[in-house]
Amino acid sequence: MKNIRSYNIEDIKKILEGLGEKPNKSKLIYYWLWKKNVSSFDEMINLPENIIEHLKANYTLNKVIIHSQQKSSDGTIKYALKLYDGNIVEGVLIPTETRMTACISSQVGCSLSCKFCATGKMERVRNLDYWEIYDQVCIIKEQALLHYNKDLTNIVYMGMGEPLLNYDNVLKSTQMCISNDGLGLSHNRITVSTAGIAKMIKKLADDDVKFNLAVSLHAANDEKRSRMMPINESNSLQVLEEALLYFCNKTEEKVMLEYIVFDNFNDNPKDAEELSSFSQRVPSKINLIEYNSIGDSEFINSREERLQIFKDILYKNKCTVMTRRSRGKDIDAACGQLANK
């Protein structure tokens, strides 16, 4: 059976016309599918029974469900989410005093093999469909209300997979999260993070996307970045910089440069100067991230005294800098740790 959520509203009108029904009921079906995110056709309580029975007999919803969950001592909750085909992805609810953030996945596994990332050690099995990405958000939104009595405020595409290698589905999912037919979130509350697929960054600009863009940089030096991130071999810093400048100039928005600070690898004064220079050339903010161990990595987190010297150089060079403290480390829910544990 076909997934009804792969149909747009015009397709649903045609289904109804084939049943001899008025096409305006398509808006009701669309409302139940997306705004209410129902788990079964029987929940569409104000539709005629013949329509319900036809949908049940010919279509499926292929819902994502919670397989298991773990709660951190800091309140972060990690969810193993089961897809219709039995594959598992992970999503995370990150609560703070001012935000309720859903960290969601875009692929089952990943093909980029970044050395500091647990997901990078997995094979890429498949892309997620846009309704599967949307389901993750809806599930974590429900969980935020259940556990904290607070609504979801932010979405970050920083879970498993590389979002820009699942371009169409990621864009469709963000559009549904922003649309009043879906969750109605502000586009400023959505951030998509990429390892730096240059041609797709340019495509984002051409498609006039409405969300924030973050780039996993982690070194402003080709030799060091290639050592950590094989994608840099085909998307060098020069190529990436050109793509980011294209994006920033066309969208008139800054990007976020994510930088995990590794001890005695990318945290020395020269690294700070290189990062400052890159940030000054590309309209951006810098987000310094502590490293979260994945067990067998060659990297360790930067020491506080080295990190402070690093930050002082960035401040001296007039960079806009934030420091992200990890959440959920005790349940392997922090940045870079998602791997179906």
The residues annotated as belonging to the active site are 90, 335
Residue 157: count of CB within 10 angstroms of its CB: 26
Helices (H), the chain: 9-18, 25-30, 49-58, 130-148, 167-178, 198-206, 222-228, 237-251, 269-281, 304-316
* Helix (H) or strand (E) segment spanning residue 214: strand 212-216
User: Residues 205, 246: contact at Cβ < 8 Å?
Assistant: yes
Compute how many other C-beta atoms are within 10 angstroms of the C-beta atom of residue 99: 13
Q: How far apart are CA 193 and CA 216, in angstroms?
A: 7
Q: Using the 8-state DSSP alphabet, how is residue 129 labeled?
A: P
In sequence order, the 6+-apart residues with CB closer than 8 A to the CB of 278 are 217, 220, 237, 241, 257
Angle, CA of 176, 179 and 181, to the nearest 5°: 90
Rounded to 5°, angle at Cα 13 from 7 and 15: 75
**Whole-angstrom distance, CA of residue 48 vs CA of residue 29:** 11
DSSP element (H, E) containing 71 = strand 65-71
Angle at 97 between CA 94 and CA 100, to 5 degrees: 35
Question: Comparing C-alpha atoms, which of 31, 70, 37, 34 is closest to residue 142?
Answer: 37
| Residue 126, CA distances (Å) to 43, 47, 85, 181 in order | 30, 35, 11, 27
